[in-house]
Amino acid sequence: MSADSSPTDRLPTDRLDGFRDLLERSDAALVLTAMAAFYLLFLSIGAILNYDFAGLISILGQVTFFTAVYALVVLALNLQWGYAGLFNIGIAGFMAVGVYTMAMLTAPPTGSPPGLGLPVAVGVVGGMLAAAFVGILTALPALRLRADYLAIVTVAISEIIRLTYNSPAFSTFTLPGGIALGTGGANGIGNFPSNPVRAIYYADPSSAASETTPIGTAIFGFFETVFGVVRSAVIVDLTYGVVLAVVVFLVYILLARVGNSPFGRVLKAIREDEIVAKSLGKDTNRFKIKTFMLGCALMGLAGVLWQGFGTGAVYPQAFRPELTFYIFIAVIIGGAGSNTGSVLGGAVFANLLFLMPQYLPNIIEQTFAIRADPNNFIAAVAPIAAGEITPLLGYVLNQRLPALRFVFVGILLVYLMQNRPEGLLGHRTETAAAVDLSEGHTPGGTARSDPTAPDESGGVDDE
Amino acid sequence: MSSESAGTPDGRAGGTAVSDDHEDEPPLRVENLRKEFGGITAVDGASFSVATESLTGLIGPNGAGKSTTFNCITGIHEPTAGAVYLNGTDIAGLAPNVVADRGLVRTFQIARELAEMTVLENLMLAPQRQQGESLYRSVLPTFRDGVIAEETELREAVWESLEFFEIDHLAEEQAGTLSGGQRKLLEMARALMTDPDILLLDEPFAGVNPTLETKLLDRINQLRAEEGLTFLLVEHDMDIIMEHCDPVIVMHQGQVLAEGPSEAIRNNERVVDAYFGEQQ
């Protein structure tokens, strides 16, 4: 702000500066502002596409859902890679273990494939424990070696897990004692337990035609009265998004505590120089194993909440390696080593790189009236000879734009590596301590308070 | 791990019991230490001991095997043969964290600061067996208060150390931004924060201002006298070695060439030939 600006000029700038200060000081404000921006963006998209009120609510539910599930996995990876430098490229596999274990534990014994019919809560905990267990089996031999080996082992195990679930051999099998179980092979497990959120609204959550609960009747009635008819499924999805946001908040608190502690300090030291950490008496293997298990358990939880309750079914194709790649991109966008950055990175990736390409073709079609929609490449290219380029544009935009997501991601990655390798918040100094370390200093004493003081006073040579 | 090494990783002076037989045992004794890298023998049967509360100097021309000896003593390298006795217990081949946990800590020839951690974090890391290094204690509210209390206490000690080493004005800087001399100071301060019994310093004064160098030597002597610390020092500055170290061990081609008071070392012909001769 210039010194000679008039008071009337100064006011909006001051407000802007104040808002910027707030964002720098408060992580909550930063995340809420980002989310508000994404909600506005997608409401605008809904408006452009002439969505009705139910459609707008649905789009907000989608934004919340994908932001939350991405944030959850990104937080887990940030613990492993951002904090401890553990290069886990098997995220998709650990998510698969979580959700498949959950499905196999809870699916009805009489279903196809059969499960154990246990309660959902047992399934969720079992899924997390199984993912942690597979994590430790994977990591134990590799953690003693260089970081590259962990990467190789995890990417291999992730594919082994996916292909095992995909294999017809395990589609249905019998355990000793005659207990029948199954992965469903390539078809996966369709009889996944219904989303627990449905229990708030429906007397029989597993039935689509169930009577509503008193709360369900009240809330559906409220939406109907105030906003007109809104599909109940949309309200259920929106509620699930809110539940996921709460889960993300709780996981954030957990990981912030882990990070802001002597435990987190050792993790950072392992990332920086493991020999030094060991030379200072830290049993680094113990720290790495605990961290890897916790991260994998959270990935298992994310698998349950995302691919399980989120879609209502689980199948092997959902756990292809590109899922792992997406999560890494999100961590890089947010800034490795920052929990708040992880949430932001997850939000940016989920909304701009995952959801947006699904809506863009319709927006472009609506805005620019590119209706030519050939469904094959020849039909798109042939008219170019007659000087007609619209069919090609239509083909690319309408048929191939979501598939071009990888191209967008690649371009973004190149840009980030060149211009902001530390990501959105990676530049911040997030001190790993349970207390504010800058306190407790009593200036004066023997301290040399002026960093620019000459070395004659007894400092060190700058080399 | 060598076949003779024994003991559990826990217990500072624990491991195999230190019996009365070890009462006269020096805190650190190296016996026939040998380390081969492929066809190269870096340390070739070195034997020496470091007396309690001494400031022992370890010198030798480049490639004499000093740093490899440090690495073998501290567990970074597993010796090919020989033994390293810490308070009478063979620690050869034990992991570096186990060696450090038993009270033997080191600094590195090329300073290994934790570059993307602040100077404060570097020092806060060092104290051993912190409550908050347990995952559940760092997270669960029941234990969190204890963790915070310990952190507050450590913070005071860390600031005092930073002030002593005159790097308190850099406390919140990333350690990677420090100059070479400042990194050396950071390393020494960090090693001292572990509260060691024996400190192995690998060229700690490289790049350090002479005034501060004197202050650090005074501090070393104070720690020896008041807290019973023992120091083994690798240094190329002959003035420091001859003036402050007693005894001095000279290594040459992986072997101990001579050991004794600085004056005797200065006048030892073999040492002069092998080491000082290079300067003539």
Q: Pick the residue of B144, B159, B162, B193 with the most A CBs within 10 A to test the interface with A by mutation.
A: B159
Inside any domain, residue A372: no
- Mean pLDDT, rounded, for A153-164: 95
For residue A119, being part of any structural domain is answered with: yes
- What are the CA-CA distances from residue A214 to residues A200, A207, A211 (Å)? 9, 17, 10
CB contact under 8 A, B100 and A278: yes
**Cβ contact (<8 Å) for A441 and B171?**
yes
Per-residue pLDDT, B276? 57
Q: Would you say residue A69 lies in a domain?
A: yes
- Interchain contact, A281 vs B212, CB within 8 Å: no
CA dist list (Å): B114 to A48, B118, B177: 51, 8, 11
User: Half-sphere exposure (CA, 13 Å, Cβ side) for B212?
Assistant: 27
Answer yes or no: do A283 and B148 touch at CB < 8 A.
no
Using CA coordinates, name the residue in chain B closest to A288.
Answer: B135
- Assess if residue A114 is contained within a domain: yes
Backbone CA torsion sign across A403, A407, A413, A415 = negative
Residue A462 main-chain phi, psi, to 5 deg: -80, 130
Domain ranges within chain B, ordered by starting residue: 20-113+196-279, 116-177
Closest-CA residue of chain B to A263 = B133
Report the SS3 class of residue A202.
Answer: strand
| A47 within a domain of the structure (yes/no) | no
- Specify the pLDDT at position B23: 62
> How confident is the model at residue A258, as a pLDDT?
95
Structurally, how many domains does chain A consist of?
1
| Closest CA of chain A from B227, distance in Å | 20
Q: How far apart are CA A426 and CA A255, in angstroms?
A: 16
Contact B125 A265 (CB under 8 A): yes
This prediction has a pTM of: 0.87
Mean pLDDT confidence for A309-327: 91
User: How far apart (Å, rounded) are the C-alpha atoms in residues B76 and A275?
Assistant: 8
pLDDT value at residue A380: 79
A250 contact residues in B (CB cutoff 8 A): none
Task: Indicate yes or no: CB of A458 within 8 angstroms of CB of B181.
Answer: no
In this predicted structure, what is the pLDDT of residue A66? 96
β partners of residue B248? B57, B260
pLDDT at A417 over 90: no
Best residue of B8, B166, B200 to probe chain A, by most A CBs closer than 10 Å: B166
What's the pLDDT at A463? 36
Q: pLDDT-based confidence at A392, cuts 50/70/90?
A: confident
Cα–Cα distance, B73 to B29 (Å, whole number): 10
State the pLDDT at residue A398.
66
Confidence (pLDDT) at B19: 42
Does A280 sit within 8 Å of B179, measured CB to CB?
A: no
Q: Which CATH architecture has domain B20-113+196-279?
A: 3-Layer(aba) Sandwich (3.40)
> Of A265, A273, A337, which has the smallest distance from its Cβ to B121's Cβ?
A265
Residue type present at position B249: I
Residue B100 has its nearest CB partner, among A271, A279, A456, at A279
The pLDDT of residue A229: 66
pLDDT of residue A10: 54
Three-state SS annotation for A321-373 = HHHHHHHHHHHHHHCCCCHHHHHHHHHHHHHHHHHHHHHHHHHHHHHHCCCCC
User: pLDDT tens digits, residue range A24-78?
Assistant: 778 899 999 999 999 999 999 999 998 888 889 889 999 999 999 999 999 999 9
Across the interface, whether the CB atoms of B139 and A254 are under 8 A apart is answered yes
Judge: A276–B174 Cβ closer than 8 Å, yes or no: no
pLDDT in tens, B20-40: 455 678 999 999 999 999 889
- Give pLDDT, residue A340: 95
ipTM above 0.85, yes or no: yes
Average pLDDT over residues A119-139: 95
CB contact under 8 A, B215 and A429: no
Examine the pLDDT at A343 and tell me if it is beyond 70: yes
The partner residue sitting opposite B135, judged by closest CB among A265, A290, A438, is: A290
- Given a cut of 70, the residues of chain B with pLDDT beneath it are 1-23, 275-280
Q: How far is CA B134 from the centre of its chain?
A: 26
Q: B208–A461: do the CB atoms touch at under 8 Å? A: yes
Range of the domain at A240: 53-320
Chain A residue whose CA is closest to B131: A262
Q: What is the mean pLDDT of chain A?
A: 86
Token pair belonging to A418:
């060149």
Amino acid (one-letter) located at A353: L
The answer to whether the CB atoms of B179 and A461 lie below 8 A apart is yes
A22 found inside a domain: no
Residue A125 has pLDDT above 90, yes or no: yes
Answer whether residue A347 is part of any domain. no
Closest CA to A83 of A213, A263, A207: A263
Look at residue A2 in the predicted model and tell me its pLDDT. 42
Which residues, in sequence order, are CB contacts of A146 under 8 Å at separation 6+?
none
| Residue B209: HSE in the Cβ half-sphere, 13 Å Cα cutoff | 17
A12 band by pLDDT with thresholds 50, 70 and 90: low
B134 interaction partners in chain A (CB closer than 8 Å)? 263
Nearest CB to B151; choose among A257, A284, A434 = A434
d(CA A221, CA A450): 68
CA-based nearest residue to A196, from A275, A310, A322, A284: A310
Distance (Å, rounded) from C-alpha A197 to C-alpha A422?
38
Give the closest residue to A45 by CA, choosing from A57, A56, A33: A56
Is the per-residue pLDDT at A429 higher than 90? no
Find the residue in A nearest to B194 (Cα): A280
Average pLDDT over residues A123-146: 90
Radius of gyration of chain A (CA): 26
Chain B residues closer than 8 Å to A461 by CB: 179-181, 207-209
Pair of tokens at residue A323: 């899922």
How far is CA B13 from each of CA B16, B69, B87, B190, rounded to the nearest angstrom?
9, 22, 8, 21
